[in-house]
Chains A and B, each alone.
Chain A
């Protein structure tokens, strides 16, 4: 986006009006992404502020030939993952969490069709950070698979596999969580 490039150039020259433009356009998406990734409002707020400080520090390293948003997400992602590691919130065990059998077909599974966004939100919150991240990037930020892979810094087949596993885990969480009204 041209406005992003112009504002990034302004910020690079020390003109903070550039920061206002960048923040206005990207703050909501950035905050949502961080909240989904770290799963904790106060941590997300810390990383949100640190991300913009890092952007101001490193803005001269930004390549204006590329879009600003993925660069911003990369800066935020690195900070968030550091925070998660430091706080030991990033567990690799989630990769071994069993998936619900893909072929299961029972009343619980049918209940999935009646998921409210709020219930899905709760199930999403119960997933690991990396699952939440790939799902929010695909469904909320609506990144196409190549952009998703670039943001996660993984090959495209890995991004696809990660998305698939995250969806299956989300489904498994929904199937094991209580349905509205106490029914399952």
Chain B
């Protein structure tokens, strides 16, 4: 008779032996009553493991989880949109600032020629334009900040 395979029986019942080991165990069980009886016990334990009560999540928990994830996804989408909008606004502001200088230089020169009198330097008009831009941007930032604060209070 081959050597006892006691230590392999638990894994055999769990279906966790490789093909060679499983064959050796099966061959031994055919000739050893003691190991065969023990293997039957392990198989019954394994069967009981397969028949364990199956707990399921509470539907309230599932609904709450879905709501939380949907809120997270919506927040992430809004954050991505805000970041894109901010990037676009910054790029636009720089473009306008650079293009603005040439436009003011051209318009101020042409206008002075057509009116036949000085209307002030292009640099002064440009500085006023930039200042107005900064004031508008600051006002927009303050309004957005207040809105965000109010939304935070509502949540």
Contacts of A94 in B (CB 8 A): none
- In the complex, whether A112 has a CB less than 8 A from a CB of chain B is yes
Identify the A interface with B (CB < 8 A). 11, 14, 16, 19-20, 23, 27-28, 31-32, 35, 45, 48-49, 52-53, 55-57, 102-103, 105, 109-110, 112-121, 124, 135, 138-140, 145, 160, 163-164, 167-168, 170-171, 174
Identify the B interface with A (CB < 8 A). 6-7, 10-11, 13-16, 34, 38, 40-42, 44-46, 48-58, 61-62, 64-66, 68-70, 72-73, 76-77
Contacts of B49 in A (CB 8 A): 117, 120, 124, 135, 139-140
- Complexed CA–CA distance, A23 and B61 (Å): 12
| Known contacts A19-B66, A28-B57, A164-B10: A117-B51 contact under CB 8 Å | yes
Indicate if the CB atoms of B53 and A23 lie closer than 8 Å: no
- Complexed CA–CA distance, A56 and B34 (Å): 53
- Which of B11, B48, B56: most chain A Cβ within 10 A? B48
Interface of A is mostly: helix
Contacts of A174 in B (CB 8 A): 45
- Which of B10, B38, B49, B56: most chain A Cβ within 10 A? B49
